[in-house]
Amino acid sequence: MCIFCKIIKAEIPSKKVLENSDFLAFEDINPQAPIHILIIPKVHYESFETSPSEVISKMSDFIKAVAKEIKVNENGYRLVTNIGENSGQEVKHLHFHLIAGAKLKWGNFI
């Protein structure tokens, strides 16, 4: 079982930001910016590439709700997902990084 599946099952603690029946958003334990949230589906999909379009569509609405919840929807945020080994994907469970809270640069986040 992957680490994100363990977080979903509350076997590993997390600092939850928002949750519904399908998705979970929580703070990254190694933040790369003042705000760094991980957003995951509660069903295991390895990556964006292997996820059904319906899941991605629903996840888009949830991500927008997270941005509104943490009040970055108006000032802006970066949304990133890594797909596969060459991208640097470390956890093989679909997840998006919502990064905000500073004027972000490309390359290094801040």
User: Known catalytic residues?
Assistant: 95
| Amino acid identity at 10 | A
In angstroms, rounded to a whole number, what is the distance separating the alpha carbons of residues 76 and 14? Answer: 24
CA 101 to chain centre: 15
Assigned token pair, 89:
């994907």
User: Is residue 28 exposed (0-12), middle (13-18) or buried (19+ Cβ within 10 Å)?
Assistant: middle
Tokens of 25: 């958003």
Which amino acid, one-letter code, is at 19? E
